[in-house]
Each structure stands twice: as structure tokens, then as C-alpha cells.
Amino acid sequence: MIGIQFYHETTRDIVVSFGSMFNNIHLVRKDRNGNVTQSMKVPLAYGPKQKWLSRLTEDPKLNKKVAITLPRMGFEIKTLTYDANRKLNKAIKVTKKQNIEKADQLVSSYMPVPYNLDFELYVFSKNSDDALQIVEQILPFFQPEYVITINERPEMSIIRDVPIVLTGITYEDEYEGEYIQRKSIVYTLSFTAKFYLYGPVKSEKVIKSVQVDQYANLPTVSPTREQRYTVEPDPITATYDDDDFGFNETTSYFEDAKTYNPTTGQDE
């Protein structure tokens, strides 16, 4: 079973959605009279905190004019863990008509598996007011969660609300050398995204005919077929989501000692 190639890009969609939540934060600086002197969009990028801190201090040639501009934000994935509290019945199968053009085709998949994806969002600044202004534009939306909507399985029309939970906030002051030299203030916000991972989606035809061959005894004792019972929808053109069709039932009796071959669909 393991080895069937499939990739729904679910985790990738969660990472992209998480980053897009914070890609439109602006910073405004004012003078002592309340006049706006500078307005800027805070840059956001994916990467670990140590990467940004090292870029703040590195200068191998001793002539680099700009190490990194502040303020800025970065985020990264920390852990991916199974969430047993949201476990669903794995035996349940979800079925959906594929599309209008293929009304006789169904797509199906078993219930998804719950996982938690932990993120850390970093806010870097060289002064406290800039950092607090950025953090204050984020925290009011998490009480303690913010819900985003993900189109998880387009082929099955599954749209799910994914909660992003704020789990913690830490604060650091990073100094380089003397007190009067470059420093960085770092706020670290921890989040958990509660989402689901899906297995392979299979395509199959709608069953429009059921046939049962009945015997008077076990095939090893009396293999001769005695009776055949067949059920088909009425009309035969009924589709998966129709709810106003009936059934045609046919019962046939035989004494020909033939056996039905399910591979060829013929009596042999």
C-alpha cells in the first residue's frame, strides 16, 4: 500500500497561508509633534532566527555598508506532530462525484489524519517602539486563535477552517560589543496550525448494476447455479446525485450448470 505516489501540497498550503497572514504589516514613525516622518512595509521572509542574527553581525571584508535592514520579520517551521485528540474514524470513506462531464465517475478518499504544525514568527527591530508597534498589529487577532480557510481537496470540494493558535511569546535583547553599538530586539511568537493530511484520492465508476448468483449448496458440493438476482437503477442513466430514480429487479432461474466469470462478465 505504501508507495502509491500522491502529493496534495497540504503542508505547503499551510506554510504559504501562514506567511500571507503577516505580509502586509506597516510601520509608521512620527516626530514629537505627531507628524508622520516615515512609513514602510515590514519585510517578511522564511528562515531561522539564527540566520537573521548572524546577518546582523557578519562583515567578513570589514567594508559592508549594510548588514541587514531593520525592522523585519521572519518565520520557520519548528515541529510536525500527530494530534490524537482530533482523530477521526479511519474506516469512513468520503465519496464525491468528480465533475459534471464525468457524471459516472466518483472520487473517494478515507478520512484524513490530524497533525499540528508548529511555527515561530520573529520580529527584529533595533528599537523597542518599532518592535512593539509590529507586535501590537498581530496580537489582537489571536484570542488565542485565528482561523484561515483552506481549499484542502479541490477535486472533492473539501474546504476546511484551519485554526492558527498563538501558544507563546518571548522577548530578547541582543547586543553586539559595547552598549552604544548595534543591538537587536527580538520578539518570538509561537503558533500551532491544526490541520489534516489526506491519503491518496481514488477515481472509480458509479455502480449501476448489481448481480448475485445463488446456489443450492456450496460450490464444491453443488456448483450448479440455481438463480440470478439483478438490480439496476431506473432509469439506467441516473447519476450519483439524483434522488428521484427507482430500481429494476430481475430474477432468473437456470438449469444450465454454467458459472459466471466476473473477469470476462460472461457465463462459462
Q: Residue 264 and residue 268: Cα distance in Å, rounded?
A: 9
Closest CA to 240 of 110, 104, 108, 107: 104
Same domain, 146 and 211: no
Q: Residue 25 and residue 147: Cα distance in Å, rounded?
A: 18
Amino acid at 121: L
Inter-residue contact 119 to 150 (CB < 8 Å): no
Same domain, 18 and 118: yes
Q: Residue 173 and residue 73: Cα distance in Å, rounded?
A: 16
Looking at the predicted structure, is the pLDDT value of residue 103 above 60?
no
104 part of a folded domain = no
101 part of a folded domain = no
pLDDT tier at 266 (50, 70, 90 boundaries)?
confident
Strand partners, 109: 94
pTM for the whole structure: 0.69
Inter-residue contact 38 to 109 (CB < 8 Å): no
Same domain, 17 and 52: yes
Question: Which domain covers residue 239, as residue numbers?
Answer: 207-267
100 part of a folded domain = no
65 part of a folded domain = yes
155 part of a folded domain = yes
pLDDT tens digits along 12-23: 999 999 999 999
Looking at the predicted structure, is the pLDDT value of residue 217 above 80?
no
Phi-psi region of 151 (alpha: psi -120 to 50; beta: other; left: phi over 0): beta
Amino acid at 224: T
Check residue 67 and give its pLDDT.
47
Q: Where are the alpha helices (DSSP H) in the chain?
A: 10-20, 49-57, 128-136
Higher-confidence position of 52 and 151:
151
Span 153-169, average pLDDT: 89
Q: How many domains does the chain have?
A: 2
pLDDT tens digits along 119-147: 999 998 888 888 999 999 999 999 999 99
Same domain, 193 and 136: yes
Q: Which of 200, 224, 249 is the last residue of a domain?
A: 200
Same domain, 72 and 163: yes
- DSSP letter (8 states) at residue 104: T
Query: Is the peptide bond between 200 and the residue preceding it cis, with omega within 30 degrees of 0?
Result: no
pLDDT tens digits along 70-80: 788 999 999 99
Q: How far is CA 117 from the centre of its chain?
A: 10
Same domain, 194 and 167: yes
Same domain, 190 and 215: no
Mean pLDDT estimate for the chain? 80
